Structure 1
Amino acid sequence: MANRKQLKKSIKMITGDLFADCVALSMCQQADRTVLDELMKEVIALHGEYVARISHTEKGSEREFYRKLKQEFTDKVNDINARIIKA
């Protein structure tokens, strides 16, 4: 299992890529600007939420906590990515 610092860096990198995709699409002027603005806000909130969750690990069941956290993060990233593609 990766340490917390590395996990936080991975979350920052993934959310940064999602945010950059939104910015690039907004410059193309083919996508709906309001939808992209909402997606950018959601990406920023996602980053903050998961970094905060990593900082407050549940004691006693760390392995299950991180497994659940990674799965939830992956599901949300896939959902946001699909919505970026549709925008």
Structure 2
Amino acid sequence: MANKRELKRSINYICSDLFAETVAASLYDKKASKENLEALLASILIIHDDFIRRVSYPEPGLAPKAYYKAIIEDFNKQVSEIIDHIQNL
């Protein structure tokens, strides 16, 4: 991790790409239910907000390197879950 700014940019880019992919998948697949689509879009926004907040305000008492490494691992895990949901639309 170079710095917080680059980590926030990466989170922003990934979340915006996920959002765009979800919208595109819903437009091309007419079978997708509106409730599932809205829940998936809401979860992307919640993940974005949560991780930006976690990067901005680190928990006191934890080593910075371990803290940010844990954030990156958690983010990658949640992104892979979102990708699986997009594929199943």
TM-score bracket, shorter-length normalisation: over 0.9
- How many pairs are equivalent? 87
TM normalised by structure 1 equals 0.92
Listed as ranges, the matches of 1:39-78 within 5 Å are: 39-59=40-60, 60-78=62-80
What is the distance in 2 between the residues matched to 1:14 and 1:30?
A: 25
Identical aligned pairs, as a percentage?
31
**Cα deviations by residue, 1:38-69 (Å, 9 ceiling, x for unpaired):** 10000001000000000112345000000100
Structure 2 letter corresponding to 1:13:
Y
Stretches of structure 2 that go unaligned for 5 or more consecutive residues are none
Residue matched to 1:32:
33
Gaps of 5+ in 1: none
Alignment RMSD: 1.2
TM (norm. structure 2) is: 0.90
Runs of 4+ off more than 6 Å: none
CA offsets, 1:7-65, max 9 Å, x none? Answer: 00000000001100111112122322221111000000100000000011234500000
Q: What residue identity is the alignment partner of 1:39? A: L
